Amino acid sequence: MFSGGKDSTYAIHWAVFKGFEVTALLTLIPMRDDSWMFQWNGVNMTSHQASAMGIRQLMWNSSGMKDLELQDLMAAFKKLREEGVEGIVTGALLSDYQRLNINLIASIVGLKVYSPLWRKDQVRYMHELLRHGFRYIITSASAYGFPFHLVGKEIESEVQVRELVDAAQTYGFNPAFEGGEAETFVTYAPLFSRRLRVEGRAIKEGEFRWRFEISHIH
């Protein structure tokens, strides 16, 4: 399952280096920006990342409505099962709602589920991402105390990671953003054949809510 963010991209990295044959990236595209299950901001640009990794992508539309998006997920899982896919790898880190629903639906369809990031130490994980060569931009943020000047900036230094972690520990939001405090878009990872350069603009949507609107990717 691939949203273009740091967690799902790291999960793909884990799967490949553990010897899994990754045959497809499944990207659910919600029609609403308040989806309970799926990332909304930036997912329409994930084809650039799929191309950089050289992995086929299946893009599947979802209503984004809480009562219906699980049906959309089941339909997508059934499609992959019919193609011979045996398991699903997720970037679930802390969200019981996402993990339990994915596991339930996968079980019904007959797919195994692997969640390599589950309950991982989040502060350590944020630093590991940087050390392993991951680079990403923050595409949205909505938490009191979040360093909003980093929205739209590429996270590429320990100084930036420490600022994010320190703010999370000071103001009480999740340091890896698993509570929905922020969303990310990966610009480079070990599996990428090239680095992506992202252009766009940061938009203030409220006192504690910012979004980065991607206009071009080179």
Domain boundary among 44, 79, 114: 114
Of 39 and 149, the one with more pLDDT: 149
Question: What CATH number does the domain containing 147 carry?
Answer: 3.90.1490.10
Within a domain: 145: yes
On whether both 144 and 188 belong to a single domain, the answer is: yes
Instruction: List all residues 6 or more positions away from 111 whose beta carbon is below 8 Å from its beta carbon.
Output: 77, 80, 81, 85, 86, 87, 88
**What pLDDT is attached to residue 53?**
97
Answer with the one of 73, 96, 114 that is the final residue of a domain.
114
Please indicate, yes or no, if residue 89 is contained in any of the structural domains: yes
Residues 184 and 208 in one domain: yes
Task: For residues 156 and 193, state if they share a domain.
Answer: yes
pLDDT of residue 184: 95
In a domain, 71, yes or no: yes
My answer on whether 78 and 145 are in the same domain is no
* Residues 126 and 213 placed together within one structural domain of the fold: yes
Distances from the Cα of 171 to the Cα of 95, 143, 151, 165, 208, angstroms: 20, 9, 17, 10, 13
Q: Which two tokens stand for residue 22?
A: 């990754």
- Residue 30 pLDDT > 60, yes or no? yes
| Co-location of 107 and 130 in the same domain | no
Full domain range(s) for residue 43: 6-114
Integer Cα distance of 47 and 68 in angstroms = 25
Axis-axis angle for helices 96-109, 69-82 (nearest 10):
40
User: Residue 114: exposed, middle, or buried by beta-carbon count in 10 A (0-12, 13-18, 19+)?
Assistant: middle
The residue type of 101 is N
If asked whether residues 46 and 70 sit together in one domain, one would say: yes
- 109 and 175 housed in the same domain: no
Question: Does residue 89 sit in the same domain as residue 172?
Answer: no
Asked if 12 and 106 sit in the same domain, the reply is yes
Please provide the distance, in angstroms rounded to a whole number, between the alpha carbons at the two ends of the chain: 24
pLDDT band for position 35 (cuts 50, 70, 90): low
160-212: pLDDT as tens digits = 999 999 999 999 999 999 878 899 999 999 999 999 999 999 999 999 999 99
Overall domain count for the chain: 2
Percent of the chain with pLDDT over 70: 93
For residue 120, the tally of other CB atoms under 10 A from its CB is 16
Q: Which of 89, 114, 139 is the last residue of a domain?
A: 114
What pLDDT is recorded for position 125? 96
How is 74-110 classified by DSSP, letter by letter? HHHHHHHHHTT--EEE---SS-HHHHHHHHHHHHHHT
Average pLDDT over residues 45-59: 96
39 vs 114, more confident: 114
Lowest mean pLDDT among 76-85, 130-139, 177-186: 177-186
Residue 48: its pLDDT value, please?
A: 97
Q: Are residues 86 and 63 in the same domain?
A: yes
210 vs 31, higher pLDDT: 210
Ranges of H-type helices in the chain: 6-17, 46-53, 69-82, 96-109, 122-131, 158-171
CATH classification of the domain holding 64: 3.40.50.620
**133: pLDDT strictly greater than 80:** yes
Instruction: Return the pLDDT at 179.
Output: 76
The residue that leads in pLDDT, 62 or 138, is 138
Calpha distance 217→106 (Å, rounded) = 33
Q: Which residue has the higher pLDDT, 43 or 39?
A: 43
- The angle, 0 to 180 degrees and rounded to 10, between the axes of the packed helices 158-171 and 122-131 is 170
Report yes or no on 1 lying in a domain. no
In a domain, 107, yes or no: yes
Q: Does residue 102 lie within any of the structural domains? A: yes
**Looking at the structure, do residues 66 and 164 belong to the same domain, yes or no?**
no
Q: What is the mean pLDDT of the chain?
A: 91
Q: What is the pLDDT of residue 97?
A: 79
pLDDT range class, residue 62, cuts 50, 70, 90: confident
